[in-house]
Amino acid sequence: MSNIDFYFDFLSPYSYLAHSRLPDLADKYGYGISYKPIDLKEAKLAAGNTGPATAQMPMKLRYAMADLTRWSQKYAVPFAFAKVPPVTSRINKGTFFAIERDQARDYVSRAWLATFGSGGDFNSDELLAGLARQMGWSPEEFLEFTGSDAAQRLYEAGNKAAHERGVFGAPIMMVGEEMWWGNDRLDHLEDYLAAHPAK
């Protein structure tokens, strides 16, 4: 099956919005989704983007909050202004646990509903354990994995591969060498999928 490579960080609300439509687009055109969790901050730094974060720019933050509300209303998905921690590596690394069990799409969807969908704490043991139970996993095994050296190695390798491929932000969707950056480029992605039937 042809795949859409989806580069994301759970801390990115625009990645959440993109994913609210991406599975339906993939299914419509016969594509799979290959989930690629990355450290967004590291991706930006590796690409030479050292500008201040939105949280450090009050005017931009006000605009972003209004913009996110508009997009969530347009897509008819819940949106809560969750407190975004400095890092979201554990919930990101949990994606590898899901990939090994062929449950990535469900995990990613549930994780975002628990965070930007309802305002949950990204780094909470309780939230992560609750996700594991929803997925039918052992919470203890899942939490142990997210803090393990093995998960860290997978994460570092994924970040390195993303940088080598030219990934500089999130969300980024790629099919082959074609790239689309941002939730607001999904229509362009759909145009491409419609013109290139899955193999």
User: Which residues does the annotation mark as catalytic?
Assistant: 12
What's the number of domains the chain is made of?
Answer: 1
**For 49-77, how does the pLDDT look when each residue is reduced to its tens digit (9 = 90+)?**
555 555 556 667 677 777 778 878 888 88
Q: How far lies 148's CA from each of 75, 145, 154, in Å?
A: 36, 5, 10
Domain boundaries, position 177 = 3-195
The pTM assigned to this predicted structure is 0.87
**For 104-140, how does the pLDDT look when each residue is reduced to its tens digit (9 = 90+)?**
999 999 999 999 999 998 889 999 999 999 999 999 9
How far apart CA 30 and CA 32 sit, in angstroms, is 7
Which tops the pLDDT comparison, 194 or 198? 194
CB neighbour list of residue 139: distance below 8 Å, 6 or more residues apart: 128, 129, 130, 132, 133
Residue 117 belongs to a domain with what CATH number?
3.40.30.10
